[in-house]
Amino acid sequence: MPSSPRVSSEVASPPSDAFPLRVFFGHHKCATGWTVGIFREIALHLGRTFRVINRTRDFEDAGSLGELVAGDRVEVLAYSNADLDHARSLPPYRGFHVVRDPRDVLVSAYFSHRKTHGTAAWPELAAHRERLRSLSKHDGLLAEMEFSAPFFEHMDRWDYEQDTVLELRMEDVTADPVPHFVRIAHFLGLVDTNPAEGVQAAARRLVIQSNRWNHRGRRFMPGRLPMFPVPKTPLDTLPEETIIDIVEKRTFERLTGRKKGQENRNTHLRKGVPGDWVNHFEPEHIRAFKDRYNDLLLKLGYVHTPDW
């Protein structure tokens, strides 16, 4: 990964007085792409400025992550490789943070880095991929343990005691996504607490559909004009059924056409089940992982004794 840029010691001003920053904090191979897709669609229905930040080079020209958010007036942020040092530069926010069993992160990263993950924006991965392809799976997992060290370090350094951040495990979210994303949306204050009825409900549905068409049309047009001459109306909250609809359209089965557990190593959504590390770790991998990351496993609660 690239070296870290300077970090501003000052917290940037909030991007909007009426709509404080909402943030998804993720980590590599913790279902970040899937979660970003859901969060992006929620943002488009709200008509809010959305940005995805993957690595430090995405904001180093701005000086800090907080300065980029303030300068671009970002209202909904997906920080998919969350580093606490940079997150501290953000204006006041409400967010949610997702972690995963680091052993499964390692196995997922190995298969993804060896074949399916894009390299265009990550030149370091191209060289790593060539190395992985020259190694056996046994040696490749050991090499991946070294390459993925920054991701584990970010999870280890994270502040898990923030009142404004909902802490979640990927395994729980992906096992039952609808109630978890409804909970996330409520925590972020994005759900109607007094749902509209009758004419008001119909008007709200029309606004949501108008925002969707506006967003879709812009993808095909240069500049700032939408393809379809429909207005975009920012909303502070959404009906709970809209959140449910967004999530139900993005289940593992609907995105892949496979059931969880049916493996396809040629796709980024490889298997979709937790605990896959037991199928790939050999005694040497267990020893090496314990040496480096046992404290992290204990901190996250994925093991309750050092002698797993």
Q: What are the distances in angstroms from CA 23 to CA 19, 56, 91, 224?
A: 12, 16, 11, 25
pLDDT per residue as tens digits for the range 7-32:
334 455 444 445 789 999 999 999 99
> Which has the closest alpha carbon to 308: 294, 106, 155?
294
- Distance of alpha carbon 246 from alpha carbon 36, whole angstroms: 12
pLDDT per residue as tens digits for the range 32-88:
999 999 999 899 888 889 999 999 999 999 999 999 999 999 999 999 999 999 999
pLDDT per residue as tens digits for the range 88-97:
999 999 999 9
The dihedral over CA atoms of 143, 147, 149, 150, expressed in degrees to the nearest 10, equals 180
User: How many other CB atoms are there within 10 angstroms of residue 138's CB atom?
Assistant: 12
Distant-in-sequence, close-in-space partners of 264: CB < 8 Å, separation ≥ 6: 256, 258, 270, 271
- Distance of alpha carbon 95 from alpha carbon 157, whole angstroms: 17
* Cα angle 244-250-253, degrees, rounded to a multiple of 5: 120
pLDDT per residue as tens digits for the range 203-255:
877 877 777 676 555 555 455 555 555 566 778 899 999 999 899 988 766 65
Task: Output the pTM of the full model.
Answer: 0.83
- Distance of alpha carbon 109 from alpha carbon 221, whole angstroms: 35
Asked if residue 105 lies in contact with residue 30, where contact means CB atoms within 8 angstroms, the answer is: yes
Give, as one character, the DSSP assignment of residue 112: I
Mean pLDDT across 255-280: 62
User: How many other CB atoms are there within 10 angstroms of residue 154's CB atom?
Assistant: 21
The residue ranges of every structural domain in the chain are: 21-193+237-300
Q: Which residue has the tokens 């969060």?
A: 39
Task: List the strands of the sheet with 165-169, edge to edge.
Answer: 50-53, 76-79, 21-25, 93-99, 165-169
Confidence grade of residue 1 (pLDDT, cut at 50, 70, 90): very low
Q: Is 261 left (phi over 0), alpha (psi -120 to 50) or beta?
A: left
pLDDT of residue 271: 53
pLDDT of residue 7: 37
- Distance of alpha carbon 167 from alpha carbon 96, whole angstroms: 6
3-state DSSP assignment of residue 235: coil
User: Class assignment of domain 21-193+237-300?
Assistant: alpha beta
3-state DSSP assignment of residue 52: strand
Computed over its alpha carbons, how large is the radius of gyration of the chain?
Answer: 20
pLDDT of residue 210: 75
pLDDT per residue as tens digits for the range 97-149:
999 999 999 999 999 999 989 898 898 999 999 999 999 999 999 999 999 99
- Distance of alpha carbon 260 from alpha carbon 268, whole angstroms: 14
Question: How far does Cα 228 stand from its chain's mean position?
Answer: 30
Confidence grade of residue 268 (pLDDT, cut at 50, 70, 90): very low
